């Protein structure tokens, strides 16, 4: 059982500069101060989880593998000092494939990390070049094998599909390599064109053309079919695992488990409110050095909590537990949810079975719209 989670945000790029897409050069002094600030925030916020046992620890949201092994050890020791950590806690570190070498992995294996998440994205060199990744496909393969040789048996890789000019054949080759590597977990995301990003600007200027929807849908179909055939469980819209290897940390998010996030831009949740730290790394460090946590807090209304319960529940294969929804929010909320679901049930985008409301295969492809239709606005229930 996951009692509470802890998330440590490391907003550094490979060169250890402050995380910024257009920053060149390295501010090692700020990097060192940032690690100091993380350990200080862990002390300042040691009461946030109300004494709950920490069952998952996740170092990520950037590139923790750019830190020295000594810095990583220091962070883990600070967690152990200020929190009660479960003996079987899932402890994950995110890594870039090109940051890993024999000496570093050997040292990582001596630390308490028992899960590694690798930002592979693709096993195609042309696609990696388009994504401005520093590693090659060969380096990604070697990184997985290097981790395996040093005893890591819970490895997750991130993949991306729907890239401009990506073909279904290339996607099949990436999936084939992922399966050949025998990793335990795969997260696969459709490329998104976010506002005010270089990628979106390139699309608007005609520099790149968005992949057609039919091909993207075919890629998702290939993903689900091939991983199912290989014995993977599709337990969340974008996440697949071998039996027994669900990400316990991410599952905690989807099931409303309290967690503490430390670091610039890190978010926290205690069941009643959400809190988020300032995103600017320098501002974060300077505030922590003055003994204060630069954070904003939002108290959640019943409507907020209902919407999050519905949204996160539908993203998972577990779906929405209607009995739990009624217990948490009342009979009127449960009735409202079912009324909103009626058209999607009729069109087989949703299924209600064993007291749970779940997305069907066709519903997953239209999940954003389905979820939006079940949201509550202005205390509708």
With cut-offs at 50, 70 and 90, classify the pLDDT of residue 208. confident
Tell me the helix, strand and coil percentages in the chain, rounded to 5.
Answer: 45, 20, 35
Q: State both tokens at 283.
A: 């501002």
What confidence score (pLDDT) does residue 200 get?
77
In this predicted structure, the answer to whether residue 173 has a pLDDT above a threshold of 80 is yes
The residue with greater pLDDT, 375 or 25, is 375
Residues 6+ away with beta carbon under 8 Å from 149: none
Quote the percentage of the chain above a pLDDT of 90: 80
Q: Which of 251, 239, 266 is nearest to 7 (CA)?
A: 266
pLDDT above 80 for 15: no
Quick one: pLDDT at residue 375? 95
CB of 265 closer than 8 Å to CB of 278: yes
Residue 149 contacts residue 142 (beta carbons within 8 Å): no
341: pLDDT confidence band, cut at 50, 70 and 90? very high
351: number of Cβ within 10 Å: 16
d(C-alpha 96, C-alpha 139), whole Å: 10
Q: Is the dihedral of CA 115, 9, 299, 373 positive or negative?
A: negative
Q: What is the pLDDT of residues 246-256, one digit of tens each?
A: 999 999 999 99
Radius of gyration of the chain (CA): 21
pLDDT of residue 104: 94
Lowest mean pLDDT among 53-67, 146-160, 264-278, 334-348: 53-67
Closest by CA to 117, choosing from 156, 60, 86, 89, is 156
Tens digits of residue pLDDT in 91-133: 999 999 999 999 999 999 999 999 999 999 999 999 999 998 9
Report the phi/psi class of residue 90: left, alpha or beta, with left for phi > 0 and alpha for psi in -120 to 50.
beta
pLDDT category of residue 178 using cuts at 50, 70 and 90:
very high
- Position 2 pLDDT exceeds 80: no
What confidence tier does 19 reach under pLDDT thresholds 50, 70, 90?
very low
Q: How is 30-69 classified by DSSP, letter by letter?
A: HHHHHHHHHHHHHHHTTTTTTTPPEEEEEEESS-GGGS-H
| Predicted TM-score (pTM) of this structure | 0.92
Mean pLDDT, the chain, rounded, equals 91
- Cβ pair 55, 5 in contact under 8 A: yes
Residues linked to residue 233 through DSSP beta bridges, in sequence order: 241
Residue 163: strand, helix, or coil: coil
What is the distance between the alpha carbons of residues 63 and 85, in angstroms, rounded to a whole number? 23
Range picked from 13-17, 62-66, 254-258, 330-334 for highest mean pLDDT: 330-334
One-character DSSP codes across 279-331: S-HHHHHHHHHTT---EEEEEPPHHHHHHHHHHHHHHBTT-EEHHHHHHHH-H
CA atoms within 13 A on the CB side of 223: 25
Alpha-carbon gap, residue 349 to 346, rounded angstroms: 8
C-alpha–C-alpha distance, residues 125 and 131, integer Å: 10
According to the model, what pLDDT value does residue 30 have?
84
Range with lowest mean pLDDT among 49-63, 71-85, 219-233, 266-280: 49-63
Cα–Cα separations (whole angstroms), residue 374 to 122, 236, 301, 307, 364: 35, 18, 17, 8, 14
The pLDDT, as a whole number, for residue 12 is 54
Q: Distance of CA 232 to CAs 190, 235, 254, 326, 368, Å?
A: 19, 9, 19, 32, 24
């Amino acid at each position: 059982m996951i009692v509470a989670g802890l998330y440590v945000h490391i907003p550094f790029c490979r060169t250890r500069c402050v995380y910024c897409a257009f920053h060149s050069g390295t501010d090692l002094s700020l990097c060192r101060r940032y690690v100091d600030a993380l350990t200080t925030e862990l002390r300042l916020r040691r009461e946030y989880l109300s004494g709950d046992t920490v069952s998952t620890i996740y170092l990520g949201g950037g590139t923790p593998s750019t830190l020295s092994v000594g810095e990583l050890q220091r962070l883990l020791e600070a967690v152990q000092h200020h929190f009660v950590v479960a003996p079987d806690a899932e402890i994950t570190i995110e890594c870039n494939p090109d940051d890993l070498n024999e000496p570093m992995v050997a040292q990582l294996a001596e630390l308490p990390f028992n899960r590694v998440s690798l930002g592979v994205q693709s096993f195609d060199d042309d696609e990696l070049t388009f994504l401005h990744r520093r590693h090659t496909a060969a380096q990604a393969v070697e990184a997985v094998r290097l981790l395996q040789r040093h005893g890591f048996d819970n490895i997750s890789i991130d993949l991306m599909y729907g890239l401009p000019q990506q073909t279904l054949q290339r996607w099949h080759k990436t999936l084939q390599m992922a399966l050949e590597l025998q990793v335990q977990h795969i997260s696969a995301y459709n490329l998104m064109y976010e506002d005010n990003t270089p990628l979106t600007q390139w699309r608007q200027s005609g520099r790149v053309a968005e992949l057609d929807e039919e091909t993207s849908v075919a890629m998702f179909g290939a993903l689900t079919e091939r991983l199912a055939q290989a014995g993977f469980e599709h337990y969340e819209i974008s996440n697949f695992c071998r039996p027994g290897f669900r990400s316990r940390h991410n599952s905690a998010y989807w099931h409303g488990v309290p967690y503490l996030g430390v670091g610039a831009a890190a978010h926290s949740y205690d069941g009643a409110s959400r809190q988020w730290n300032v995103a600017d790394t320098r501002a974060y460090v300077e505030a922590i050095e003055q003994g204060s946590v630069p954070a904003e807090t939002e108290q959640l209304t019943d409507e907020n909590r209902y919407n999050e319960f519905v949204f996160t529940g539908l993203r998972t294969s577990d779906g929405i537990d209607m009995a739990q929804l009624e217990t948490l929010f009342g009979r009127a909320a449960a009735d409202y949810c079912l009324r909103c679901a009626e058209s999607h049930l009729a069109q087989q985008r949703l299924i209600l079975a064993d007291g749970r409301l779940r997305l069907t295969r066709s519903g997953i492809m239209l999940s954003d719209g389905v979820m939006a239709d079940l949201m509550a606005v202005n205390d509708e229930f």
